[in-house]
Amino acid sequence: MVEDGDEVAVDARSTEDWLLHAQELVPVVLDKAREAKGFAGRWKMIIAKLEQIPSRLSDLSSHPCFSKNALCKEQLQAVSRTLGEAIELAELCMKEKYEGKLRMQSDLDALTGKLDLNLRDCGLLIKTGVLGEATLPLAVSSSVAESDVATHIRELLARLQIGHLEAKHQALDSVVEAMKEDEKNVLAALGRSNIAALVQLLTATSPRIREKTVTVICSLAESGSCENWLVSEGVLPPLIRLVESGSAVGKEKATISLQRLSMSAETARAIVGHGGVPPLVELCQIGDSVSQAAAACTLKNISAVPEVRQTLSEEGIVRTMINLLNCGILLGSKEHAAECLQNLTASNENLRRNVISEGGVRSLLTYLDGPLPQESAVGALRNLVGSVPETSLVSLGLVPRLVHVLKSGSLGAQQAAVAAICRVCSTTDMKKMVGEAGCIPLLVKMLEAKSNSAREVAAQAIASLMVVSQNRREVKKDDKSVPNLVQLLDPSPQNTAKKYAVSCLGSLSSSKKCKKLMISYGAIGYLKKLTEMDIPGAKKLHERLERGKLRTFFSKK
């Protein structure tokens, strides 16, 4: 047999030579194994595995690409080395010349493991289909033709599945480098078996291998092309363990992977089921900026699933998110915290009370003081204001913050702010305060929004505020109020603001000037159709405008 160190001789042999060499060794090692003395149980197991080798070699050699396949040649070399070791151990047992019984038991167990690996790897070469693809050595020079790149990548991925751990480590290094240079082609070449091999490497004993593996898996998760494969191959438990106890890089990459995977509600539930919430909560408290933001985003994604919100609460997520809102390192962390609180308070009164008792309202209001108030924070406040006493909301400065959002926020943030106004204006005093804060011109302007839902909530808020006489006067003073409200009388099903528009115009119809404007902008035609649709208040307003129209007609006579 050729020694491992004799690289020249090894390289000189063809794949066919290595096949013949291995086939010649099998009967020799079987004869010697059957004559070995002692360790009968272990040798019986070894013989059973040796007897499987000829059929595996036959499967390999029958493949059309057998002779030119680099992986095939390397596998035959590995089998030959194992058979050589078996001969040496059998001869020692035959002569009973070995260094201690325990040492020989250990050597025989190691031999059994190598035979298992050889048999498994031979099977994988056949099953995975790489025999027809892999033709290049592991260390590929820069002169490899462009057309061979995809083939090389498929071979690298195949090498993650075969051989001993150090060989896989070497292949992993090559995959990491390949992804830096040509991530697109690596992703295109990935198969499910490659994903399974990577997931297995996440549990390797070597921290360096785990770190490199999770770096690759993070890229795969972020690509969005194989989330289902990753999850079905069991990636979640080892990722969660890395978040718990990995290196700084391992924690970061594992958390970013979970962030991407948790966008699926089913996977979010699975993360909770695998115990992923406590380490993510801890990372929000003590992690570096990137890991903290990724952990907050993952928890935000999980909080979008209603049935796990109580579990999140029990793990201390409310206080953690409020602390992030106050002290988060990155703005992104604060945004995720606000959105998480919005999700948690969407439908659960117990969670609302929990957020309120932990000082969440004050933190959310403070967060809104920035130049670009975020929709998520306003949405969380919208969910909470109905559970907070009016006096507390006033003392905390809710109304000025809502005005700030109406002036500076995105349309979504403005819409959430108006919804909060609708919920909080349950008393005359509060309606008066909102009107005095300057909300009405901003709400009238919002009636022109392209979004139907934004127009609807603005009309609803105006209708509520107009119960107070001074607010009605403010609406009358705005030149755009009547034209905008008349436009919202459109009877089409898409327009959901029409009932509020009728209410607002009804409150303005005592003014002759407003009635004339309504008529001039075509309100009567709209109201006739709305009367037929039984929209509340439409018939009464229609009749009032018709009477006004007649009076105008006769006064001209």
Range(s) of the domain holding residue 57: 1-131
- Domain membership of residue 83 (yes or no) is yes
- Quick check: is 65 in a domain? yes
Out of 96, 115, 131, pick the residue that ends a domain: 131
Contact 125/131 with Cβ under 8 angstroms?
yes
Q: Let me know if residue 72 belongs to a domain.
A: yes
Does the pLDDT value for residue 138 go beyond 60? no
* Residue 144 counted as domain residue: no
- Quick check: is 115 in a domain? yes
Q: Distance (Å, rounded) from C-alpha 209 to C-alpha 165?
A: 9
What's the CA gap between 441 and 464, in Å, rounded? 15
- pLDDT band at 554; cut points 50, 70, 90: very low
Query: Could you give the CA distance from residue 218 to residue 148 in angstroms, rounded to a whole number?
Result: 26
With beta carbons less than 8 A apart as the criterion, state whether 443 and 458 touch: yes
Contact in structure between 260 and 299 (CB atoms under 8 Å): no
The 10 Å CB-count burial string (b at 16+, else e) for 142-154 is eeeeeeebebbbb
At 388 the pLDDT is 96
Q: Taken in order 49, 51, 56, 61, is the CA torsion positive or negative?
A: positive
Q: What's the whole-number mean pLDDT along residues 3-28? A: 74
- On the question of pLDDT at 5 being above 60, the answer is no
Residue 273 included in any domain: no
With 0-12 / 13-18 / 19 or more C-beta atoms within 10 angstroms meaning exposed / middle / buried, residue 326 is middle
Cβ pair 56, 119 in contact under 8 A:
yes
Q: Which pLDDT score, from 0 to 100, does residue 180 have?
A: 82
User: Which residues make Cβ contacts (< 8 Å) with residue 506, sequence separation at least 6?
Assistant: 537, 540, 541
pLDDT of residue 69: 67
Q: 498 by DSSP, 3-state: which?
A: helix
How many Å apart are CA 159 and CA 75, to the nearest integer? 11
Give, as one character, the DSSP assignment of residue 467: T
Looking at 99, 131, 163, the residue that finishes a domain is 131
Q: What percent of the chain has pLDDT over 90?
A: 66
Report the pLDDT value the prediction gives residue 137, as an integer from 0 to 100: 46
What confidence score (pLDDT) does residue 185 get? Answer: 80
Average pLDDT over residues 476-503: 95
Query: Pick from 98, 131, 164: which residue ends a domain?
Result: 131
Q: Are 420 and 458 in contact (CB under 8 A)?
A: no
Of 74, 92, 65, 77, the C-alpha closest to 25 is 77
Identify the three-state secondary structure at position 527: helix
Which pair of tokens denotes residue 155? Answer: 């071979």
Using a cut of 0.85, tell me whether the model's pTM lies above it: no
pLDDT digits (tens, 9 = 90+) for 193-223: 788 888 988 988 889 989 999 999 998 999 8
Residue 186, CA distances (Å) to 72, 157, 260 in order: 22, 8, 19
What average pLDDT does the structure give for the chain? 88
Mean predicted confidence (pLDDT) in 468-496: 95
Residue 66 has pLDDT above 90, yes or no: no
Structural domain contains residue 551: yes
Into how many domains does the chain fold? 2
Give phi and psi for 339, each to the nearest 5: -70, -35
Can you give the pLDDT at residue 129? 59
Q: How does pLDDT run across 290-322, given as a tens digit for each residue?
A: 999 999 999 999 999 999 999 999 999 999 999
Could you tell me the pLDDT band of residue 148, with boundaries at 50, 70 and 90? low
Q: Kindly state whether residue 2 falls inside one of the protein's structural domains.
A: yes
**Is residue 425 helix, strand or coil?**
coil
Q: Average pLDDT, stretch 438-462?
A: 96
Q: Is the pLDDT of residue 2 over 60?
A: no
In the predicted model, is pLDDT for residue 76 greater than 50?
yes
**355, 345 contact by CB (below 8 A):** yes
Over the range 267-301, which residues count as b (16 or more CB within 10 Å of their CB) and which as e? bbbbbbeeebbebbbbbbeebeebbbbbbbbbbbb
